[in-house]
Amino acid sequence: MGQLFYMKIKKTQSNSRLTATCVSHFVLIVCMFCTGFFLFAPILTFGQESLLDRKISIPKQHITLYNALNLISEKADCLFIYDSQIVENDRQVKLHADNQPLYQVLNTILANPELTFKVLGKHILIYREKGDFTLKAGNQLLKNDTVTNITLKGHIYDNENKNAIPFATIGILEENIGTISNTDGYFVLKLPATFSGSSIVVSCMGYISKSIPIQLLHGQQVDLFLERRIISIQEVIIRYIDPNKIVAKAMEERDKNNNPDPVYLTSFYREGVQKNNNYISFSEAVFKVYKSAYSHNEFADQVKLLKSRKIQDTNPRDTVFLKLKAGVLSALQLDIVKCVPGFLDLSQPSAYTYTYSDLKSYNSRDAYVITFVQNENIKDALYTGTLYIDKENFAVLGADFEINPKFLDKAAEDLILKKSRKLIVKLEKISYSVSYTPFNGKYYLNHARCDISLKTRFRNRLSSDNFNTFLEFASCNIDTIDVVKFEKQEVMKPNVVFSDTPYENDDAFWKDYNIISPEAKLNESLLRLIGKIEKTE
């Protein structure tokens, strides 16, 4: 098993610097119906009167508006889409319906004349009308005659506990255009207006995927609630399942399941460094990646930089600075189907013990859940984690793993190449996550993330500094047509990501590129960063 992460601590004239560098065999440090119905006003829908006129009966009860809408959804066989802050779904309401039309019941519990509805199929959007777009006949979205793009925004939540769902996939499946929700469950998706008549699919491991018409979402910020998918015992044939054979089968089926030919991945990449919970560096970029066939090694991949920016705190009081230097190549090497780690390589006596632990839903596919840990007689710093393998075709759908916490100190001996004698460094955690997405019958790298935590302390001091850093990569578009290698002058060096061209920080910087939206805390931190802001296009 190759080493993952090499850290280098350099001492300079003015300070000591902690530099993280990724170099190795498996460098894993490292993814409308507009207007129509105004409350307390006549209903106008394109052929959807029957849904809002549908009569329902519900016993009298005092519940939250959120639970009331869920109950109405079951009774009326419809799906509601709304922004929780606008609708105030935590507010207590009195719900009672005695064979009343759906629109009357909604008017009563919403009790807000500023809210209106859009109806499309079984979907009902509750929103505050902004008047910035209308829906033309023929299901074509019209903002004005020059509209070229659609922007969809919202949060993804668990339907049961209302917790945010991070790293959910949002996009158009047949086109494989999409993005990933951030750790707050928030997403922004930009699409060409030609897709206005399509639907987006929201999916995440363990949840039932949801398809929603784009016409209902454009121009709105909405909350989307996913239901957990439980695989009933009737769906499972009780038998002994050999986890070793499942892993071996997954590797055998790579010819069928993974890309035999190169593809283009338009991908978003970002990395950040925190010192004592304050960001001191944050970088992000959009790349066009020439992803070679799975059978080629990672060095056959090419990266072309489309757009990037970097924010860095140059506060001279910082005596230690941690920085990821390996660039997007490190993220590409998290493609575990291509850069096979030890826990997937059973060609030799395995250093791992595998356990079949569950059968779960992974993006609406039944998946074997295989846990692994290094054998007890092995004292090297290897991995522990979980694999998700498709029950039908044995495709590797994803993995979550980390360096075995029992041997982090031993890992530090190998990973820290040089440091100041006055500085003590202790690794706290190194974890990884990777997932794949299907497209035209093959699976492609969809999302990869690495998180690293460590502490540093000078020998003559009692206090220590906590460093946390992450690297994240998400494929936003896959193109399989006319894929050729880039010209030599276009190719970015593997460990170079950003340049030093000054720019003004503006919200429209990314234009039509799909990115992973910053988390709320991250967004606040970036606004407070003092120092240098750089960009390149």
Average pLDDT, integer, range 498-515: 62
DSSP string, 257-289: HB-SS-EEEEEEEEEEEEETTEEEEEEEEEEEE
Final residue belonging to a domain, choices 78, 105, 128: 128
Which one has a higher pLDDT value, 140 or 218? 218
pLDDT at 137: 34
pLDDT at 409: 82
Q: What is the pLDDT of residues 140-174, one digit of tens each?
A: 444 444 457 888 999 999 988 889 999 999 999 87
Final residue belonging to a domain, choices 81, 113, 128: 128
Q: How would you classify the pairing of strands 501-502 and 532-536?
A: antiparallel
Count up the domains in the chain and report the number: 2
374 and 479 share one domain: yes
Residue 189 covered by a domain: no
* Beta-strand runs (E) in 2-109: 6-11, 16-21, 37-38, 55-64, 79-82, 92-101
296 and 315 share one domain: yes
Identify the DSSP state of 517.
Answer: P
Q: What is the pLDDT of residues 358-374, one digit of tens each?
A: 888 887 788 999 999 99
Task: In whole angstroms, give the CA distance from residue 140 to residue 176.
Answer: 21
Helix axis angle for 102-110 and 65-76, nearest 10°, is: 180
118 and 245 share one domain: no
23 and 77 share one domain: no
Neighbouring C-beta atoms of residue 318, cutoff 10 Å: 16
Residue 164 CA: distances (Å) to CA of 172, 317, 360: 21, 36, 20
Q: What is the pLDDT of residues 470-500, one digit of tens each?
A: 889 999 999 999 999 999 888 887 665 554 3
Residue 234 covered by a domain: no
CATH code for position 85: 3.55.50.30
Residue 458 covered by a domain: yes
**pLDDT higher than 50, residue 39:** no
Q: What is the pLDDT of residues 306-326, one digit of tens each?
A: 988 887 765 544 444 444 344
Among 45-54, 153-162, 208-217, 279-288, where is mean pLDDT lowest? 45-54
Burial 336-366 (b: 16+ CB within 10 A, else e): bbbbbbbbbebeeebbbebebeeebbbbebe
Decide: 38 and 343 in contact? Cβ < 8 Å: no
318 and 419 share one domain: yes
Q: What is the pLDDT of residues 94-122, one digit of tens each?
A: 999 899 989 899 989 998 888 888 888 88
Residue 135 covered by a domain: no
pLDDT at 492: 80
Q: Is 406 helix (H, G, I), strand (E, B) or coil?
A: helix
pLDDT at 528: 67
122 and 257 share one domain: no
Residue 383 CA: distances (Å) to CA of 55, 80, 81, 110, 353: 57, 43, 42, 52, 11
For the chain, percent of residues with pLDDT exceeding 70: 77
Among 301-310, 324-333, 462-471, 472-481, where is mean pLDDT lowest? 324-333
Final residue belonging to a domain, choices 97, 128, 159: 128
pLDDT at 19: 34
Residue 69 covered by a domain: yes
290 and 426 share one domain: yes
What confidence tier does 66 reach under pLDDT thresholds 50, 70, 90?
Answer: very high
Q: How would you classify the pairing of strands 186-192 and 263-275?
A: unpaired
Task: In whole angstroms, give the CA distance from residue 525 to residue 537.
Answer: 24
Decide: 93 and 109 in contact? Cβ < 8 Å: yes
**pLDDT higher than 70, residue 398:** yes
**pLDDT higher than 60, residue 43:** no
Residue 409 covered by a domain: yes
Residue 158 covered by a domain: no
**pLDDT higher than 90, residue 265:** yes
Q: Which domain holds residue 367?
A: 6-31+241-536
250 and 295 share one domain: yes
CA dihedral over 39, 43, 48, 50, signed as positive or negative? positive
124 and 245 share one domain: no
What confidence tier does 533 reach under pLDDT thresholds 50, 70, 90?
Answer: low
Residue 191 covered by a domain: no
20 and 81 share one domain: no
pLDDT at 534: 57
pTM, 2 dp: 0.79
pLDDT at 187: 93
Which one has a higher pLDDT value, 31 or 228? 228
What confidence tier does 92 reach under pLDDT thresholds 50, 70, 90?
Answer: very high
Neighbouring C-beta atoms of residue 392, cutoff 10 Å: 8
Indicate the average pLDDT of the chain.
78
In 3D, which of 112, 85, 91 has the Cα closest to residue 220?
85
pLDDT at 349: 79
449 and 300 share one domain: yes
20 and 85 share one domain: no
**pLDDT higher than 50, residue 346:** yes
Q: Which of 87-91, 128-132, 413-417 has the highest mean pLDDT?
A: 87-91
